Chains A and B, each alone.
Chain A
Amino acid sequence: MHGRQKKERTAEEEVAKEKERCKKVAAYQYAMGLIFSKRGKKELDEELLKITQQVLASNPDISTLWNIRKEVLSVMKETDFTNFLDVVLQKELDFTEFCLKINPKSYGAWHHRTWLMKETNFSKVTSELKLCAKYLEYDDRNFHCWDYRRYLVENCSEVTLEQEFDFTTEKISSNFSNFSSWHLRSKILPKLPRDFLEEELELIRNAVFTDPKDQSAWFYHRWLLRSQLPAENPYLIAAQYSDTKLSLIFSSKSPIPSQSGVKVIDTDKIIGNLKWTNPWSNTCSKLWECQLPEANKNISIKADSSVMRNFGSVDLSLKHGDLKRNFPKYFDAETERKNDKFLSLLKEEISWVQELQEMEPDVKWPICTLIMLMRMVDFVKYKENILNHLDKLMKLDSQRINYYLDLRSKYLIEWKLVECSSLPGLDETVLDLSGLNLTALYYPERMCFQTKINLSNNALKNCEPFRALVNCKELNVSGNNLAKTKLESTIEGLKNLKIEL
């Protein structure tokens, strides 16, 4: 029972109410008995329509009654299609609308209308679209109605994509807080044949300056800018071959290598039946390992040029003991270098969001957005600004402090890894991530060749990322919130590991 307020009634009122309810129950039970008995006798006639109508009118959620109506209507359609189309359909639409007035979120009533449209080849689409407009006027977040409307549009040629786009503009202009419209816009925009970016940013600016606390336009803004970035398919960034074990590291979560076209070749022959595993037994992972049938072979890795892009798009040959890596200096499409045109657009974005942030220092959304924009422009250069903004967020929005702490940990690790990547002999020197107040260990796969890692004096609590530290020999995790036995059992497979805890 959603949103039904409890009413205080006097004893007298209670008696009257109870009497009325008893009557309703008796009527309901009588009608349902009649309906099921008629259905049992296959009396699929107008009378059955009438009785089900009486019950549904006060309770439109009884889906079986809608089913029974469909059975009766199918018979009527079969017997006299013209009459069905001219008379019956309209009556049925009117009745469904009546039910929607009682419960505008009735799954049964909306689905019944969908069924009617399909049965009559969408002959009434124009008036149906008007009905949708009316219901969205009444509640512009009614997702049943939005779904029904989309169903109509997809199945008729009356509404062009442009018109549909204009409809969302109209709805957004009358209420910027209409997340449903922003959502639909995100679906239409990629299908339109022209570039909308500037116009969209203008609309977003109007929305967020009107009400900077409203999430709707901010979510859309985030998506819009990120959708301009190239899609990042996982590609190989490192491979290690030692003993009989082959480890592959990917830029982002990749399905099992054998599925993504990665082949391991031993002098012209593909090594078959390799059992790929990852530390979390996931279907997608950034780290994949397998045991090779024989040691001391010269092997090569073969895959699509997109997968091998960091190794000059050619096969990667590996001798026993080899570690070949080409870690990019960015972590996702957001942190990758952009072209100048897009960069200058992003800088303009930073400038107006900053302006809004200064006007509304207590609102978190401009700050969240600034962090994203700064990461997109130059995540290394903006390090101090990003950290300051994160601090502000933690103060302003303490409910989500653990989320911000994890985010902060992720960024700190990114900066550290970029900084270390240019150091020589990095695998043997200590990777020092101590004293950063890290709450999460992001990118453990990029630390997997490291033999010495110092993570002391942080706030780490989850042992799972440690599974990826497969080459680690000395691990300092003292001064964290990790349970010793849990950590030891999690990384049981790691040999010769000295843990300081």
Chain B
Amino acid sequence: MAASLSTDIILPNAPPDLLLPKHAGFLSKYGTAKDDYDYCMTEFLRMSGMYWGLTALQLMDRLDSVPKEDVVAFVQDCFHEGTGGFSPAKDHDPHLLYSLSAIQILAMYDEFKAVDCSKVVEFVQSLQQPDGSFFGDKYGEVDIRFSFCAVATLALMKKLDAIDTRKAADFILSCQNFDGGFGSKPGSESHAGLIYCAVGTLSILKEIDRIDGDALGWWLCERQLKSGGFNGRPEKLPDVCYSWWVLASLTILGRGDWIDQKALIKFILSCQDVSTGGFADRPGDVADPFHTLFGLGALSILGYEDETTVKLKKINPVFCMSQEVIDSLGIEVQILPGGGAC
């Protein structure tokens, strides 16, 4: 019965410093051994894996450690002329999840010209449903993750007018629950990752003020556990990736200071793998590019720096990309004013 006893972890004593060179090494090495087991087994999400790794490298100002031409050629290889979507890897099927990652990568390199973007717009447009939601691909799965992918992809290409944005926002609001949070579709339980998708989509659509920032902000700051880490739902274990989903959402809601930032930093630093580099979900687990990006992303929002390392670049809380890139594209997101201005 006493579930609250088993839903947190105890951190090892002193967390290591932020090991940026190790993380850069971990990421730029990732994928050099094409026959590596883990690498092959994650082929089905390769495009997103590339985006996670490259964004993390860019935050550390090490994007140049990966040959740009190879990356752009890979993205081009995954572009489906017929549908206008991107697949995670060659021969796989196109999907909104990987289309956003591909467009994020191209935006990072200022290489939209590498593909026919008007086709990408058509792909996204074709997946919007009458209720404003989005299919992930032609097989009909609906999820607000796909709403976020669709809206973010179009926003990066400055083509939001291709879809019904009001309906897209209305659908997001139809996924809101009794606790103020959002689930994957109407009726689904609230989950911090999906809240990020909801809040991010509304922010891009400049409709974030349609939600009650105080109610949702409270639910989100209640995700922080004694260990300093965040869980994604009540009575679950902490995980580094929720540092991002929760903190980015709170930042968009203008309430990033409602949590214990020092405790969160300690938790994130403890999830570094000091021998291989990279971050794991929890201390002692296997590191991967996904948790590495979200650990670094949260540290960037927190403005973390210590004497031994260079400062991380500023990250945009909505697009999860370096703020420089978002600025260079001239994109503005909506952040709630906070401080009582709601």
Q: Chain A's interface: helix, strand, loop or mixed, by majority? A: helix
Nearest B-chain residue to A24, judged by Cβ: B37
Does the CB pair A223–B2 fall under 8 Å? no
Query: Beta-carbon contacts of B255-278 to A below 8 Å, as 1s and 0s?
Result: 101111001000000000100000
Given A6-B286, A143-B183, A465-B340 in contact, is the A223-B178 Cβ separation under 8 Å? yes
A183 to chain B, nearest CB (A): 4
B278 to chain A, nearest CB (A): 10
The contact of B209 among A1, A223, A284, A465, by CB within 8 Å, is A284
Query: Beta-carbon contacts of B42-79 to A below 8 Å, as 1s and 0s?
Result: 01110000000000000000000000000000000000
Q: Does A460 contact B (CB under 8 A)?
A: yes
Give A214 to B222 CA distance when docked, in angstroms.
Answer: 12
Report B-chain residues with C-beta under 8 Å of the C-beta of A444: 340-341
Q: Does A81 contact B (CB under 8 A)?
A: no
Does the CB pair B224–A400 fall under 8 Å? yes
Q: Does B331 contact A (CB under 8 A)?
A: no
Nearest A-chain residue to B233, judged by Cβ: A179
A260 to chain B, nearest CB (A): 13
Question: Which of B184-205 touch A at CB < 8 Å?
Answer: 184-185, 187-191
Does the CB pair A253–B342 fall under 8 Å? yes
Give A403 to B261 CA distance when docked, in angstroms.
Answer: 13
Report B-chain residues with C-beta under 8 Å of the C-beta of A32: 43, 91
Does the CB pair A63–B95 fall under 8 Å? yes
Q: Does B164 contact A (CB under 8 A)?
A: no
Does the CB pair B4–A440 fall under 8 Å? no
Nearest B-chain residue to A70, judged by Cβ: B139
Does the CB pair B233–A2 fall under 8 Å? no
B133 to chain A, nearest CB (A): 14
B155 to chain A, nearest CB (A): 17
Q: Does A210 contact B (CB under 8 A)?
A: yes
Q: Does A77 contact B (CB under 8 A)?
A: no
The contact of A115 among B35, B87, B140, B224, by CB within 8 Å, is B140
Does the CB pair A177–B339 fall under 8 Å? no
Does the CB pair A441–B340 fall under 8 Å? yes
Does the CB pair B339–A253 fall under 8 Å? no
What is the total number of residues of chain A having a CB less than 8 Å from a CB of chain B? 78
Given A70-B139, A402-B257 in contact, is the A64-B2 Cβ separation under 8 Å? no
Identify which of B206, B222, B273 gathers the most chain A CB atoms within 10 Å of its CB: B222
Report A-chain residues with C-beta under 8 Å of the C-beta of B257: 402
Nearest A-chain residue to B237, judged by Cβ: A3
Given A64-B93, A215-B222 in contact, is the A143-B40 Cβ separation under 8 Å? no
Query: Beta-carbon contacts of A405-440 to B below 8 Å, as 1s and 0s?
Result: 010011001000000000000000000000000001
The contact of B40 among A28, A184, A440, by CB within 8 Å, is A28
Report A-chain residues with C-beta under 8 Å of the C-beta of B288: 1
Report B-chain residues with C-beta under 8 Å of the C-beta of A28: 40-41
Report A-chain residues with C-beta under 8 Å of the C-beta of B44: 59, 61-64
Identify which of B177, B184, B257, B290 gathers the most chain A CB atoms within 10 Å of its CB: B257
Does the CB pair B340–A211 fall under 8 Å? no
Q: Does A5 contact B (CB under 8 A)?
A: yes
Give A444 to B342 CA distance when docked, in angstroms.
Answer: 10
Does the CB pair A402–B258 fall under 8 Å? yes
The contact of B189 among A4, A146, A177, by CB within 8 Å, is A146
Nearest B-chain residue to A461, judged by Cβ: B339
Q: Does B1 contact A (CB under 8 A)?
A: yes
Report A-chain residues with C-beta under 8 Å of the C-beta of B35: 22, 25, 29
Does the CB pair A468–B258 fall under 8 Å? no
Does the CB pair A5–B178 fall under 8 Å? no
What is the total number of residues of chain B having a CB less than 8 Å from a CB of chain A? 72
Report A-chain residues with C-beta under 8 Å of the C-beta of B342: 253, 286, 442
Nearest A-chain residue to B35, judged by Cβ: A25
Give A253 to B342 CA distance when docked, in angstroms.
Answer: 9
A67 to chain B, nearest CB (A): 5
Give A283 to B224 CA distance when docked, in angstroms.
Answer: 31
Q: Does B338 contact A (CB under 8 A)?
A: yes
A286 to chain B, nearest CB (A): 8
Q: Does A171 contact B (CB under 8 A)?
A: no
Does the CB pair B93–A180 fall under 8 Å? no
Q: Does B207 contact A (CB under 8 A)?
A: yes
Question: Which of A262-308 touch B at CB < 8 Å?
Answer: 280, 282-286
Give A463 to B339 CA distance when docked, in angstroms.
Answer: 8
Report A-chain residues with C-beta under 8 Å of the C-beta of B158: none
Give A103 to B226 CA distance when docked, in angstroms.
Answer: 29
Q: Does B84 contact A (CB under 8 A)?
A: no
The contact of A186 among B3, B177, B273, by CB within 8 Å, is B177
B295 to chain A, nearest CB (A): 13
Give A468 to B340 CA distance when docked, in angstroms.
Answer: 11
Q: Does B15 contact A (CB under 8 A)?
A: no
Does the CB pair A59–B41 fall under 8 Å? yes
Given A2-B281, A21-B37 in contact, is the A468-B341 Cβ separation under 8 Å? yes
Q: Does A324 contact B (CB under 8 A)?
A: no
Nearest B-chain residue to A59, judged by Cβ: B41
Given A24-B37, A280-B341, A467-B341 in contact, is the A211-B1 Cβ separation under 8 Å? yes
Does the CB pair B37–A25 fall under 8 Å? yes
Give A186 to B234 CA distance when docked, in angstroms.
Answer: 16
Nearest B-chain residue to A68, judged by Cβ: B93
Does the CB pair A283–B206 fall under 8 Å? yes
Does the CB pair B258–A400 fall under 8 Å? yes
Identify which of B43, B140, B188, B282 gathers the most chain A CB atoms within 10 Å of its CB: B188
The contact of A143 among B191, B224, B235, by CB within 8 Å, is B191
Does the CB pair B337–A465 fall under 8 Å? yes
Does the CB pair B338–A464 fall under 8 Å? yes
Q: Does A338 contact B (CB under 8 A)?
A: no
Query: Beta-carbon contacts of B202-223 to A below 8 Å, as 1s and 0s?
Result: 0000110110000001110110
Give A403 to B91 CA distance when docked, in angstroms.
Answer: 49
B8 to chain A, nearest CB (A): 11
Does the CB pair B340–A406 fall under 8 Å? yes
Q: Does B285 contact A (CB under 8 A)?
A: yes
Report A-chain residues with C-beta under 8 Å of the C-beta of B21: none
B94 to chain A, nearest CB (A): 10
The contact of B341 among A210, A400, A462, by CB within 8 Å, is A462
Give A465 to B254 CA distance when docked, in angstroms.
Answer: 12
Query: Beta-carbon contacts of B327-342 to A below 8 Å, as 1s and 0s?
Result: 0000000100111111
Q: Does B280 contact A (CB under 8 A)?
A: yes
11 contacts between A and B (CB under 8 A): A1-B288, A147-B188, A180-B189, A219-B178, A219-B219, A253-B209, A399-B226, A400-B260, A441-B340, A442-B340, A462-B341
B residues lining the A interface (CB < 8 Å): 1-4, 35-37, 40-41, 43-45, 87, 91-93, 95, 137, 139-141, 177-179, 183-185, 187-191, 206-207, 209-210, 217-219, 221-222, 224, 226, 233-236, 239, 254-255, 257-260, 263, 273, 280-282, 284-286, 288, 290-291, 334, 337-342
Known: A64-B87, A183-B178, A462-B339. 9 other contacts (CB 8 A): A3-B282, A22-B35, A25-B36, A63-B92, A214-B4, A398-B260, A402-B258, A441-B340, A464-B254
